[in-house]
Amino acid sequence: MIYLFTGNGKGKTTAAIGTSLRALGNGEKVLFVMFMKDKTITSETKVLEKLENITIKSFGRRGFYLPKEELEKNPDLKKYGVRPIEEIDVKLAYEGLSFIKGNIKNYDLIVLDEICVAIHFGLVKKEDLINLLKEYPDKDFILTGRNCPQDLIDTADLVTEMKEVKHPYQKGIKAKKGLDY
Write out the residues near its own copies by the rule CB under 8 A. 1, 3, 5, 7, 9-19, 21-28, 42-48, 51, 108-109, 140, 153, 156-168, 171, 173, 176-181
89 or 113: CB nearest its own copies: 113
For the CB of residue 92, give the shortest distance to its own copies in the complex, in Å.
23
70 or 161: CB nearest its own copies: 161
Which positions ≥6 away from 84 have C-beta within 8 Å?
65, 66, 67, 68, 71
H helix intervals, 81-149: 87-103, 115-120, 126-135
Q: Which amino acid is at 102?
A: G
For the CB of residue 12, give the shortest distance to its own copies in the complex, in Å.
8
39 or 126: CB nearest its own copies: 39
19 or 55: CB nearest its own copies: 19
134: DSSP letter: H
For the CB of residue 20, give the shortest distance to its own copies in the complex, in Å.
8
Q: What is the DSSP string of 7-63?
A: SSSS-HHHHHHHHHHHHHHTT--EEEEEES--GGG-HHHHHHTTSTTEEEEEES-SS
For the CB of residue 155, give the shortest distance to its own copies in the complex, in Å.
10
125 or 163: CB nearest its own copies: 163
Measured from the Cβ of residue 32, the count of other Cβ atoms closer than 10 Å reads 25
For the CB of residue 22, give the shortest distance to its own copies in the complex, in Å.
4
**Distance (Å) of CA 33 to CA 55, 59, 165:** 8, 7, 28
